[in-house]
């Protein structure tokens, strides 16, 4: 016998038996779809902090315990033992690949790493100083203008072709945005390199020279991409689902996700953290900055801190902070050393001993240390959120595919509202207005 909750309107006596749906893990959900019919009202939850928007089998987060699972596998184990492309397979297909499946998947991805040359014509229309995320939104949206052969979103085979294309092409497109801004020639992918190494070569290589992959740097980038691959129903993933629920093509839906990720409250925070650390200056200025953050009037936030779900340490932040220690110790004395890492550690130490942050359960999130690693790897500041988008594309497109494949629950998303505007009133001709 499944559990139910009774909701009763004490004025009218109308009541509804609401089914409680039990999860594998985490918080049970109350199916409120019958409330308007049974009670005659909507539920209200601005920011969807208390709302389950869908069923999903992909990623589980426990915000209190600081747990993150991709298809049931702990992020700590995947970060240590897997590769980004294997995590892509896991997210897309739901299982780790066997030998034959892996060979086939790698070949499918390699087939699609190049982009239509017309896309590179589009990019040259952007002003050289355009933010790479502005180019990413436009270029990924434009993909639907090039790949007409598989756009039937109701055909699982077409959806899989789009998934392979997007996962394979995002590094090439991302590198192109950097090359265009840097005034350097575009690099074609070279599939003799690994997936992440190919991305680094397109980013930092030039046609005139052979490209030597630094294995330590490649592993650090691989780690970053694994950690950013998916994260349940965050703002950009929810955007991709809502956009895709209209039946639009996946390239347009992913472009909407990229646009959402760009915001400083979301994926744009990694860039904002490094800007914040640069503005704070030395460690001696940290207490003054913390005071500004605590002053609500200032509107200043500690970027890279806080999370809608994690009310404990974001497990990804712990992994990245440890990776910083490993990577940066090898860069000491080089032009890539990152003095801001010490400032970030001091900032975290001071914040986490301050009641303002403790009372609000504000801890470092995935963005707090990620910019430091990306900077150490040579990525310019304006590429940080682009790296996030390249990695998150597999999560977005997996959730999009899951939504369209969930024939039992799938319908176009259409929230309602609490209307507080004017009551009905008649038009007043211009000559009669005061």
Question: Which residues are marked as active site?
Answer: 307, 367
Q: Which two tokens stand for residue 156?
A: 């699982």
Among 202, 258, 303, 391, binds ligand SDX (CB under 6 A): 303
Three-state DSSP state, 365: coil
Candidate ranges 18-26, 165-173, 305-313, 402-410; the one touching ligand SDX (CB under 6 A) = 305-313
Please name the helix (run of DSSP H) or strand (run of DSSP E) that holds residue 104, with its range, or none: helix 99-111
Please name the helix (run of DSSP H) or strand (run of DSSP E) that holds residue 4, with its range, or none: strand 4-8
Minimum distance from residue 346 beta carbon to ligand SDX (Å): 17
CA distances from 396 to 110, 333, 391 (A): 20, 39, 10
Minimum distance from residue 351 beta carbon to ligand SDX (Å): 9
Candidate ranges 217-225, 264-272, 333-341, 417-425; the one touching ligand SDX (CB under 6 A) = 264-272
Q: Does 14 bind ligand SDX (CB under 6 A)?
A: no
Please check whether residue 262 is in contact with residue 362, taking contact to mean a CB–CB distance below 8 angstroms.
no
Q: Does 5 bind ligand SDX (CB under 6 A)?
A: no
Among 307, 317, 390, 401, binds ligand SDX (CB under 6 A): 307
Contacts of 393 (CB under 8 A, 6+ apart): 166, 167, 170, 254, 257
Interface pattern 366-385 for ligand SDX (x via CB under 6 A): xx------------------
Interface pattern 212-241 for ligand SDX (x via CB under 6 A): -------------------x--x-------
Among 171, 306, 315, 371, binds ligand SDX (CB under 6 A): 306
Nearer residue to ligand SDX within complex by CB, 135 or 302 = 302
Q: What does the alpha-carbon distance between residue 382 and residue 178 come to, in Å, rounded to a whole number?
A: 9
Q: Does 116 bind ligand SDX (CB under 6 A)?
A: no
* Residues 41-70 contacting ligand SDX, CB under 6 A: none
Q: Does 144 bind ligand SDX (CB under 6 A)?
A: no
Please check whether residue 300 is in contact with residue 294, taking contact to mean a CB–CB distance below 8 angstroms.
no
Q: Does 305 bind ligand SDX (CB under 6 A)?
A: yes
Candidate ranges 18-26, 33-41, 184-192, 295-303; the one touching ligand SDX (CB under 6 A) = 295-303
Q: Which of these, 302, 307, 311, lies nearest to 349 by C-alpha position?
A: 302
Nearer residue to ligand SDX within complex by CB, 123 or 389 = 389
Nearer residue to ligand SDX within complex by CB, 171 or 315 = 315
Q: Which of these, 303, 330, 321, 305, lies nearest to 373 by C-alpha position?
A: 321
Q: What does the alpha-carbon distance between residue 243 and residue 245 come to, in Å, rounded to a whole number?
A: 5
Please check whether residue 58 is in contact with residue 91, taking contact to mean a CB–CB distance below 8 angstroms.
yes
Minimum distance from residue 362 beta carbon to ligand SDX (Å): 5
Q: Which of these, 262, 272, 271, 264, lies nearest to 236 by C-alpha position?
A: 262
In the sheet with 67-70, reading across from the earlier edge strand, the strands are: 59-62, 67-70, 73-74
Contact positions vs ligand SDX (CB under 6 A)? 231, 234, 265-267, 269, 293, 301-309, 360, 362, 365-367
């Amino acid at each position: 016998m499944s559990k139910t909750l009774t909701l009763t309107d004490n004025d009218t006596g109308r009541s509804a038996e609401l089914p409680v749906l039990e999860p594998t893990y985490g918080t049970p959900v109350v199916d409120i779809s019958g409330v308007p019919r049974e009670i005659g009202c909507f539920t209200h939850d601005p920011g969807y902090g208390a709302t389950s928007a869908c069923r999903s089998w992909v990623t589980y987060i426990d915000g209190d315990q600081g747990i993150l699972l991709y298809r049931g596998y702990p992020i700590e184990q995947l970060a240590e033992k897997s590769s980004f492309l294997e995590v892509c397979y896991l997210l897309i297909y739901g299982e780790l690949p066997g030998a034959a499946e892996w060979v086939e998947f790698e070949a499918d991805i390699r087939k699609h790493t190049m982009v239509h040359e017309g896309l590179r014509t589009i990019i040259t229309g952007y002003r050289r100083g355009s933010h790479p995320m502005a180019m990413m939104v436009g270029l990924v949206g434009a993909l639907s203008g090039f790949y007409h052969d598989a756009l039937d979103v109701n055909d699982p085979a077409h959806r899989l072709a789009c998934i392979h294309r997007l996962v394979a092409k995002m590094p090439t497109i991302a590198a192109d945005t950097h090359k265009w801004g840097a005034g350097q020639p575009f690099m074609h992918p070279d599939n003799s390199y690994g997936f992440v190494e190919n991305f680094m070569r397109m980013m930092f290589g030039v046609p005139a020279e052979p490209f030597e992959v630094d294995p330590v740097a490649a592993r650090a980038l691989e780690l970053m991409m694994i950690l950013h691959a998916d994260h349940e129903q965050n703002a950009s993933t929810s955007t991709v689902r809502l956009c895709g629920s209209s039946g639009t093509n996946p390239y347009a839906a992913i472009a909407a996700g990229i646009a959402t990720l760009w915001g400083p409250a979301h994926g744009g925070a990694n860039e904002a953290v490094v800007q914040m650390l640069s503005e704070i200056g030395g460690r001696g200025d940290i207490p003054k900055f913390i005071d500004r953050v605590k002053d609500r009037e200032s509107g200043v936030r500690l970027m890279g801190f806080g999370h809608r779900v994690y009310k404990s340490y974001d497990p990804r932040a712990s992994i990245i902070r440890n990776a910083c220690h490993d990577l940066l110790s090898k860069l000491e004395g080089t032009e890539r050393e990152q003095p801001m890492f010490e400032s970030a550690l001091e900032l975290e130490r001071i914040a986490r001993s301050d009641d303002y942050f403790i009372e609000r359960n504000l801890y470092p999130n995935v963005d707090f240390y990620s910019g430091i690693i990306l900077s150490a790897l040579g990525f310019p500041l304006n590429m940080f959120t682009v790296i996030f988008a390249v990695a998150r594309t597999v999560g977005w497109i997996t959730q999009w595919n899951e939504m369209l494949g969930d024939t039992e629950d799938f319908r176009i998303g259409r929230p309602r509202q609490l209307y507080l505007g004017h009551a009905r009133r008649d038009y007043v001709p211009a000559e009669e207005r005061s």
